[in-house]
Amino acid sequence: MLKGKNVLLCVSGGIAAYKMADVASMLVKQEADVHVCMTKNAEKFITAETFSVLTKNKVYVDVFDENPDDYVNVPHISLGTGADVILVAPASADIIGKIANGIADDMVSTVVLPARCPVLIAPSMNVYMYENPIVQDNLRKLESYGYRIIDPASGHLACGYDGKGKLPSPETLVDEIIFEIASEKDLKGKRVLINAGPTCEAIDPVRYITNHSSGKMGFALAKAASMRGAEVELVTGPVSLDTPIGVNRVDIESAQQMYEEMVKRSSDADIIIMAAAVADYTPVNTADQKIKKHDGDMSIELKRTNDILKTIGCDKKKDQKIIGFSMETENLIENSRKKLDSKNADMICANSLRTPGAGYQVDTNIITLITKEEEINLPLMSKLEAAHSIFNHILEL
Ligand code: CTP
């Protein structure tokens, strides 16, 4: 996703600087052209050679360093102006203070000033330094100028304290870069409402009825929409997945809660996608206490839940696009087309549990997009690629 993108990593002096070797390596594997500049203090924690070996590019530490292959462009200007994205990480209190106040007295604070691209700043320091109102003021100031601050993680800090101030993992930092530049922002200004995961219908305080949905497809859709600049709300049943960057997540358990949260948000949404595996039936009664076993069999009486897609589809607003999913084990196209009509959807993403590489739990999917006019067979692809493909088609609807 980063092929051909020019990523500039600015490393300042903090113990977490060692994590930036992984970040550089992961970006190179994604085929980005990675450049690194560092402060002199950063060199106390990691060497410039580590980065130059990983990136195959010269690493700059001194503002007066020159590029031996290019004496026309001075690196302290051309590094910043040539970047598609800049990540300052770890950003010490010192470098944050300098950038916030336009001080340019080392390589990192200098290259950021002429930049025209998105600049991400990942603070990392002792918890009390981080909480200091001067540092917080500087961060707010940077945000007001359009810099994006990546929230530090909480945990045990190298200084011995526990609290907020850890540099997020290399995976998270790479995700932040991907989020910033990997996609065209063609959903900017659009509000996208998505549901995901299974629902859990309680029988008693111990047991419930659920299904195999992992939530991966819905979360991939939320990630893709957020990467493309949409304002995304994700209503999800119980899943063990991290919330994609920039997504507003609402956790629910039952089909009734999913119904309420979706319906109350639906009128404001431009695009609504129902990827959740909502229970069609729920117990008529939920016992307050654990149901004790008795001799002989037992049965649970079930009643129908509300059909969320049908409710929202039948109340469709002007220009709203409503997309459903359909999971079948037989007659995929015929059954899915019936859902398209009966639920008044604009498109159904149909997948069969019988096709290898499709369905629950796996990271790939094979989807047929069904609209009134056509059927489009998408090949086997990752759920994130499938999500992007679905949005490409929604934009054509
Ligand atoms: N759906 C919904 N509310 C329900 C059940 C399903 O909104 N109570 C939505 C799903 O999120 C999906 C679509 O309807 O987008 C189709 O779901 P699916 O389970 O494939 O089909 P059902 O409509 O439940 O019909 P059946 O179980 O008979 O196949």
Q: Per-residue confidence at 38, pLDDT binned at 50, 70, 90?
A: very high
Calpha distance 10→120 (Å, rounded): 10
pTM score: 0.88
Query: pLDDT tens for residues 351-393?
Result: 988 888 887 878 999 999 999 999 999 999 999 999 999 999 9
Cis upstream peptide for 168 (omega within 30°): no
Hey, CA dihedral for 130, 135, 139, 140, is it positive or negative?
Answer: positive
Residue 219 φ/ψ, nearest 5 degrees: -70, -35
Calpha distance 134→11 (Å, rounded): 21
Average pLDDT over residues 320-349: 96
Given a cut of 80, whether residue 72 has pLDDT beyond it is: no
Q: Per-residue confidence at 67, pLDDT binned at 50, 70, 90?
A: confident
Helices (H), 101-205: 107-112, 127-131, 133-144, 170-181
Query: pLDDT tens for residues 120-140?
Result: 999 999 999 999 999 999 999
Cα(309) to centroid(ligand 1), Å: 7
Average pLDDT over residues 103-121: 97
Q: Per-residue confidence at 345, pLDDT binned at 50, 70, 90?
A: very high
For the CA of 255, the nearest atom of ligand 1: 8
Q: Per-residue confidence at 69, pLDDT binned at 50, 70, 90?
A: confident
Instruction: Please give the pLDDT value at position 34.
Output: 98
Instruction: Please give the pLDDT value at position 70.
Output: 82
Look at residue 310 and give its three-state secondary structure: helix
Q: 141-160 as b/e, with b when 16 or more CB fall inside 10 Å?
A: ebeeeebbbbebeeeebeee
| Residue 319 CB contacts under 8 Å (≥ 6 apart), including other chains | 270
Instruction: Please give the pLDDT value at position 111.
Output: 97
Q: Per-residue confidence at 68, pLDDT binned at 50, 70, 90?
A: confident
Nearest CA to ligand 1 atom 20: 326
* Spatial contact of 238 and 197, defined as CB atoms under 8 Å apart: yes
Q: Is 140 exposed, middle or buried (0-12, 13-18, 19+ CB in 10 A)?
A: exposed
Average pLDDT over residues 97-108: 97
**Residue from 280, 348, 369 to probe ligand 1 pocket by mutation (most atoms less than 8 Å from CB):** 280
Q: Is 98 in the pocket of ligand 1 (CB under 6 A)?
A: no
Query: pLDDT tens for residues 326-336?
Result: 999 999 999 99
Given a cut of 90, whether residue 182 has pLDDT beyond it is: no
> Which residues are catalytically annotated?
159
**DSSP structure class, residue 274:** E
Give the HSE-up count for residue 257: Cα atoms under 13 Å, Cβ half-sphere: 15
Query: pLDDT tens for residues 74-100?
Result: 999 999 999 999 999 999 999 999 999
| Residue 284 CB contacts under 8 Å (≥ 6 apart), including other chains | 301, 302, 303
Query: pLDDT tens for residues 251-308?
Result: 999 999 999 999 999 999 999 999 999 999 999 999 999 999 999 999 999 999 999 9
Instruction: Please give the pLDDT value at position 110.
Output: 97
Instruction: Please give the pLDDT value at position 106.
Output: 97
Nearest CA to ligand 1 atom 9: 309
**Residue from 316, 326, 341 to probe ligand 1 pocket by mutation (most atoms less than 8 Å from CB):** 326
Mean pLDDT for the chain overall? 96
| Residue 69 CB contacts under 8 Å (≥ 6 apart), including other chains | none
Task: Centre a 10 Å sphere on the Cβ of residue 331 and count the other Cβ atoms it contains.
Answer: 11
Given a cut of 80, whether residue 171 has pLDDT beyond it is: yes
Given a cut of 90, whether residue 191 has pLDDT beyond it is: yes
* Spatial contact of 218 and 276, defined as CB atoms under 8 Å apart: yes
Q: What percent of the chain has pLDDT over 70?
A: 100
List residues bridging with 235 in a β-sheet: 195, 250
Q: Is 307 in the pocket of ligand 1 (CB under 6 A)?
A: yes
Instruction: Please give the pLDDT value at position 354.
Output: 83
